[in-house]
Structure 1
Amino acid sequence: MEMDDSVPIEFIFEADASRSSPRLAQLTESLKLEHQLLRVPFEHYKKAIRANHRVAEKEISAVISGVSDVTTDGNLSSGDAVNRLNSLVSKLHGLKRKLEEGNRVEHLQAQKCRVRLDHLESAIEENMSEWNGTHLNRILVDYMLRMSYYDTAVKLTECRKIQNLVDIDIFQEAKVVIDALRNKDVAPALAWCAENKSRLKKSKSKLELQLRLQEFIEMVRAENYLQAIKYARKYLAPWAATHLKELQRAMATLAFKRDTECATYKVLFEPKQWDNLVDQFKQEFFKLNGMTLEPLVNIYLQAGLSALKTPYCYKDDCTKEDPLSQESFQKLALALPYAKLHHSKLVCYITKELMDTGNPPQVLPNGYVYSAKALEEMANKNNGMITCPRTGLVCNYREIVKAYVS
């Protein structure tokens, strides 16, 4: 059984929503934001089906070929023929065990899909408070797993009983590769590439090439030049047709060596190359598993920050009540466009009250604007004198002028 990769999972629900209840239509809208929740177990479900199909096809072909050999070989004695047939029967028993294990994996992923669908369907008005709490815990676990806080993620998952709604087991697989790369070992990453070779090739991934190049560079660093050349002939040469420039640059390190000061080649020996490999593996891992490249918590925060971002947020005198006054939020919103505010409001810096016709804005001699109510209260307390809270300017109340907003 094969499943078509070209059909998005959302299509199923959109088709049903077009002829079903408004509630299902709302679920479809929610699914667009919850793509990862369903996509991850769905991708692993397809992967299990493909693996079982390949195993069955390979083993059955071998058995059929073996039976054919027994029946056509006239020189076999009856005892040898029986032995060969018994061996083929043993192979079939082994295939049965493999398929039973594969079926268990398929069932587990199908069950996860069902649980997650039920979770989405439970997003009804009477249950939204509980549903939102679970949703928040899910995206926090997702963030912790991406940031390598595995133990904390496991504890939160167990505490909130959301094991079937998060993907700890999948991230644990990635952890093995990430830990190895941080220890300057590419073997687990190369094994992962081999396991997912067809899908990585389909997405035109360069991860395997970068891993091979790094392994070559480490040989040059260790001054094992002969071994490096043999390695390049075996593992790098097949990439020459499509990535000749990268290969030429790497091969030049044989001449420039590890202590070169030439920036073009010196960078290849820097430790940050291993960090780049970790980041590249994460990106490929997320894509293959149908995950968002950014943590979900970042995406939700950016959705809110995009409605708040204005040029004023990046000025030194931005009010502390504005989330974008925080450096971490400013960094997160850096690539976002400014909010398109069709209806602006003026809020007094001092009282935090709205400035309107009943409480008009007033301008100090230094150009700063505050509400009439705030300045009147300040003047009454200070014998008619006004002190600008942001610059410290002191002026007489009679010096302020009314601002007219068009």
Structure 2
Amino acid sequence: MSSSKLSPNEVLLLDQATLKAPVDNLRRLQKVTQKFYEHNLGPTSTFQRDLDDVLRKSAVASSSTSSADTPDGGAAQRAEMLKTVEGMLTKMRNTKRKLAELSAQSAAATQVASARLDHLAALPDSSDAAGYPAWARKRLSHQLSDYFLRSTPPLKRSAAVLAREEGIEELVDVELWEELAKAEKGLREGRLEEVLSWVGENRTTLKKMKSTLEFTIHLQAYIELCRARSLDAAIAYVKKNLSPVTVSELSAGGGASQMEELSRAMALLAYAPDTTCQIYQELYSPARWDNLLAHFRSTFLSLHSLPPVPLLHMSLQAGIASLKTPICCPLPSSALSTSNKSNGNSAPPVHPMEGSPSAECPICSSPLGQLAPEVPYSHHVNSTIVCSISGKVVEGDGGEGGQLVALLSKMTGEGRVYSKEGLALRASQHPEGKLVDPHTGEVFQWEDMKKVFIS
């Protein structure tokens, strides 16, 4: 199999959430449309009742022979029926306008889903294919936009500009991230209206996820009323939003722990914010807002199947994991000592690796090293040696990178490993053609070189 052949399951692993947002949006629009239709045109709707009433009155009026004998000849009844019909027509016009809006939104969501399917289906079979660079550029632009949208407002604007210039607007969920940013801004400013509105729109899905977010929000609202010492309002709020039955529903059946937390919070009616009791100080702590913000963000991302870290970081970390060594990112001393004490049933002991960072290593010499602590060390059956002179991978017994040799110092007994071809190149650049160790400056004879085998 060619090394350039692409495996769709592996290449598209990071793009599995690309279709989640438009599909969820289509599902939500379908439910909204269905509920709106049933409410306005269903068998139990006001429109249907008015229609049945008009038809009944018309049938009665047409079969009655006494209407002509009335003083007004049935004019009052006809006026009432006409008024009812006009109201029905007004409702129908409003319903038609709303259904047209929902239809347009569904068409837009369908177009987005179709565009994303086309993008994923356009993955070439090989990285050598003519269309792969353009496909990879579009994917990289998508990952950069995702990274920008998770950052500060200026970068969010950059994401919109990048998406427009690269023609990937349909791949980027700008509205989704704006919705998240709006709710997060409200939480940072101590407001709960935005996040409660979002919870109301997604209550069914949150129950399926067994999320306790809504309970946490209502509890925080109650705490803020206690902080303001609006005790009557706090009691009323608890009765309305945090009754035992409601708590059980909001915590998806696991309401025991939530009831314990609520019982403890009820004591805030007697304890003011300046209390010295640690338990109630923690309930009044501003840090609860930070925890609520983190809880909401994780719930929002989980609901939309969005990863908690940027797609760009995930792509970079996949490459970093194949390059990272203890030289690039040293093991913590605590982890080292723990590993060395491991028994036969645990992982083998890890020993400190000798060496220094290389300018040729992207982990050692670039900002990518900041992502290295988050990924595991690479595992190789055989070591890979790169000559610091030629910059080529040395195969050991010759080949493209050359033969692997070592120069052993006669003074210290320590040695450094290079490729034979790299040393020959360095010697050819020396005025006297001497073989000089590039790091120590020590002069060697050619017969001093020791052949090294990779293990």
Alignment of 1:198-209 (within 5 A): 198-209=204-215
Query: Which one of 417, 423, 426 corresponds to residue 370 of structure 1?
Result: 417
**Distance in 1 of aligned mates of 2:147 and 2:55:** 60
2:329 corresponding residue in structure 1: 314
Aligned to 1:54: 35
The alpha carbon displacement at 1:293 in A equals: 2.9
Alignment partner of 1:126: what SS? Answer: coil
Query: Who is 1:146 aligned against?
Result: 150
1:227 aligns with: 233
- Using the alignment, how far apart are the partners of 2:240 and 2:438 within structure 1? 73
Mapping of residues 230-269 of structure 1, within 5 Å: 230-237=236-243, 238-239=246-247, 241-242=255-256, 243-260=258-275, 263-269=278-284
Q: How many angstroms does 1:363 deviate by? A: 5.3
**Once the two structures are superposed, what CA deviation does each residue of 1:15-59 show, in whole Å capped at 9, x if it has no partner?**
xxxxxxxxxx96666544322222221211121111111100111
Give the SS at the match of 1:96.
helix
Superposed, which structure 2 residues align to 1:238-387 within 5 Å? Answer: 238-239=246-247, 241-242=255-256, 243-260=258-275, 263-315=278-330, 317-325=356-364, 329-330=368-369, 332-348=371-387, 352=391, 354=393, 356-357=396-397, 358-362=403-407, 365=412, 369-371=416-418
Amino acid at match of 1:126: A
Choose the corresponding residue for 1:38, options 3, 6, 19: 19
Whole-angstrom distance in 1 between the partners of 2:413 and 2:36: 79
Aligned to 2:81: 81
Partners of 1:43 and 1:289 within 8 A in 2: yes
Equivalent residues of 1:221, 1:257 under 8 A apart: yes
**Cα distance, 1:216–1:359 mapped onto 2, change above 3 Å:** same
Superposed CA offset, 1:228-259 (max 9, x none):
23322322232164422332343344455433
Paired position in structure 1 for 2:200: 194
User: CA offsets per residue over residues 143-195 of structure 1, 9 Å max, x none?
Assistant: 11112432111222222232222111222222221221121111011011001
SS at match of 1:281: helix
Q: Percent identity?
A: 28
Q: 1:345 to 1:337 in 2, by over 3 A?
A: same
Alignment of 1:169-188 (within 5 A): 169-188=175-194
CA distance in 1, matches of 2:274, 2:369: 40
Most deviating of 286-295 and 65-74: 65-74
| Bigger mean CA deviation after superposition, 363-372 or 311-320 | 363-372
CA contact (8 A) 2:406 2:416 kept: yes
Going from structure 1 to structure 2, the CA distance change for 1:53 and 1:31 (only over 3 Å counts) comes to farther
Partner of 1:134: 138
Tell me how far apart the structure 2 counterparts of residues 299 and 275 of structure 1 sit (CA, whole Å).
Answer: 25
Q: What is the total number of aligned residue pairs between the two structures?
A: 378
The 2-side partners of 1:354 and 1:126 are apart by 28
Deviation at 1:388, TM superposition (A): 9.6
1:328-367 CA-partner distances (Å, limit 9, x unpaired): 6455343433222123123355664555353323455475
Q: Secondary structure at the match of 1:36?
A: coil
Distance 1:245 1:200, change over 3 A: same
Identify the residue that residue 218 of structure 1 maps to in structure 2: 224
Measure the CA separation in 1 of the matches of 2:319 and 2:121. Answer: 25
Structure showing greater Rg: 2
Q: CA deviation at 1:132?
A: 1.4
Distance, in Å, in 1 between the alignment partners of 2:415 and 2:285 is 51
C-alpha change, 1:395 and 1:284, in structure 2 (3 Å) is same
Moved more, 70-79 or 244-253: 70-79
Q: Give how far 1:196 is off.
A: 1.0
**Match of 1:370, as an amino acid?**
V
**TM-score of the aligned structures, taking structure 2 as reference length:** 0.71
Scaled by the length of structure 1, the TM-score of the pair is 0.79
Contact between 1:27 and 1:121, CA under 8 Å: does it hold in 2? no
User: CA separation in 2, counterparts of 1:324 and 1:266?
Assistant: 45
Aligned 8 A contact 2:216 2:292 in 1: yes
> Which has the larger helix fraction?
1
Paired amino acid for 1:186? L
SS at match of 1:177: helix
Q: Are 1:98 and 2:102 counterparts?
A: no
Aligned match of 1:166 in 143, 167, 172? 172
CA RMSD of aligned residues (A): 3.7
**Cα separation, 2, equivalents of 1:317 and 1:273:** 45
Q: Does the 8 Å contact 2:435/2:443 carry over to 1?
A: yes
Change (3 A) 1:92 1:372: closer
Quick check: 1:115–1:164 contact (8 Å CA) kept in 2? yes
**Alpha-carbon distance between aligned partners in 2 of 1:56 and 1:182, rounded to the nearest angstrom:** 38
